[in-house]
Amino acid sequence: GGGTVKVTARCDQTLLSVKIAPEAVNPSDVAFLEELVLTAANQALAAAKETANKEMGSVTQGMSIPGLI
């Protein structure tokens, strides 16, 4: 894509929004658009998971909780 499809995800792994640029829509190549959406969604979910892990790390830093790690 090149940013023609953008997906925003929350840290709880739910999708917040999907934005599709008009130039990404080609009625004769729906499979390409589907691939762009799938890739953007997976990237957004991965970024949300990374953010959640960083946030959790900063909250639990220095804590010694038996069985947590």
In this model, does residue 51 exceed pLDDT 60? yes
Q: What is the three-class DSSP state of 9? A: strand
Q: How confident is the model at residue 57 (pLDDT cuts 50, 70, 90)?
A: confident
Prediction pTM value:
0.71
Q: What is the mean pLDDT of the chain?
A: 86
Task: Give counts: helices (H), strands (E), the chain.
Answer: 1, 2
Mean pLDDT of 4-30: 91
Q: How confident is the model at residue 68 (pLDDT cuts 50, 70, 90)?
A: low
Q: How confident is the model at residue 46 (pLDDT cuts 50, 70, 90)?
A: very high
